[in-house]
Amino acid sequence: MKVFLTQLRHSNEPLYYFGLGCLLAALLCLVCIRFTHTQVLGINAWYKPMKFFLATGIFVWTMAWFMQYLGNSRAVVWYSWGLIVLFTFEDLFIALQAARGQLSHFNVSTPLFATLYGLMAAAAVGISLWTAYIALLFFQQDLPDLPRAYLWGIRLGLLLFIVFSMQGLSMGSRLTHTIGGADGSPGLPVVNWSRRYGDLRIAHFLGMHALQILPLLSFYVLKSVRATVIAALLYALVTTFVFWQAMQGRPLFR
């Protein structure tokens, strides 16, 4: 872990420190969960910013690690600072709304909240599209020093991340992540995925974390391009099925 963190800091210092800050913010949210009782949709309000800070930290560190293979190009520098700006706005807005006991997502109860939610959605789409450009660079460059299976794990992980991050639009367009019932139904601990209705967040989560899972599998387990492609196809099929099941209003877990 020490070697990983040292190399990460040397390869992309801005994203290293930003990711570290996000992980520390997630720990602070955990403390707030323990000592505060503000609730949103029936659960402690600080669970949501905790999950978003944690997810942001993991994502920016993952991208920082991948982009070391592209070198310190202008595209990498601009993308890195773009992530910092967009995620700072998104995550701080979510934390601020949690502190106020207010919804952040799907909150159009006032013109101000509707505008801020729209800006947050635009930031999320911007991150996805900008990441698509970084993915294109990985497909365009041969990167001969990388194991072929690992390179394809990165490429396909990025591709699935982009597809299922954009799947978030299926929630934004409905102003809900629950199909068949209202948001706030009984859910699993921490993640709060619904145990009664279809929940679009599950496929969103699974698809986006292909970004970490496929490269790790390809490097440590699969070790061949063919096996990596097959694993990516199976992963995409399973995640698509999870999305389809949610759209039918059926819970994945009970």
**Are the C-beta atoms of residues 48 and 98 closer than 8 Å to each other?**
yes
199 and 74 together in one domain: no
pLDDT of residue 213: 98
43 and 155 together in one domain: no
Task: Count structural domains, the chain.
Answer: 2
Name the one residue in this structure whose structure tokens are 């990711």: 19
120 and 205 together in one domain: no
Residue 244: count of CB within 10 angstroms of its CB: 12
pLDDT of residue 1: 82
Distance CA 114, CA 122 (A): 12
The domain in which residue 3 lies consists of: 1-141
Distance CA 202, CA 42 (A): 19
**Burial of 19: CB neighbours in 10 Å, binned 0-12, 13-18, 19+:** buried
123 and 159 together in one domain: no
Single residue among 97, 121, 141 that ends a domain in this structure: 141
What's CA 182's distance to the chain center, in Å? 23
52 and 125 together in one domain: yes
In this structure, which amino acid lies at residue 152? W
pLDDT of residue 149: 98
32 and 132 together in one domain: yes
Split at pLDDT 50, 70, 90, the class of 254 is confident
List, for residues 94-129, the tens digit of each pLDDT value. 999 999 999 999 999 999 999 999 999 999 999 999
60 and 126 together in one domain: yes
pLDDT of residue 177: 96
List, for residues 194-253, the tens digit of each pLDDT value. 999 999 999 999 999 999 999 999 999 999 999 999 999 999 999 999 999 999 999 998
Residue 45: count of CB within 10 angstroms of its CB: 25
Single residue among 93, 119, 141 that ends a domain in this structure: 141
* Nearest by Cα to 187 from 48, 94, 91: 48
Single residue among 110, 141, 172 that ends a domain in this structure: 141
Six token digits for residue 240: 């698509």
Name the one residue in this structure whose structure tokens are 């070697």: 3
234 and 207 together in one domain: yes
pLDDT at residue 45 is higher than 90: yes
Q: pTM of the full predicted structure?
A: 0.96
Question: Which helix (H) or strand (E) element contains residue 202?
Answer: helix 201-208
Split at pLDDT 50, 70, 90, the class of 2 is confident
89 and 70 together in one domain: yes
In this structure, which amino acid lies at residue 117? Y
Split at pLDDT 50, 70, 90, the class of 142 is very high
107 and 28 together in one domain: yes
113 and 161 together in one domain: no
Q: If you average pLDDT over every residue of the chain, what do you get?
A: 96
List, for residues 159-168, the tens digit of each pLDDT value. 999 999 999 9
Split at pLDDT 50, 70, 90, the class of 192 is very high
**What is the percent of the chain with per-residue pLDDT over 90, rounded to a whole number?**
95
What's CA 40's distance to the chain center, in Å? 21
pLDDT of residue 96: 96
In this structure, which amino acid lies at residue 220? Y
52 and 17 together in one domain: yes
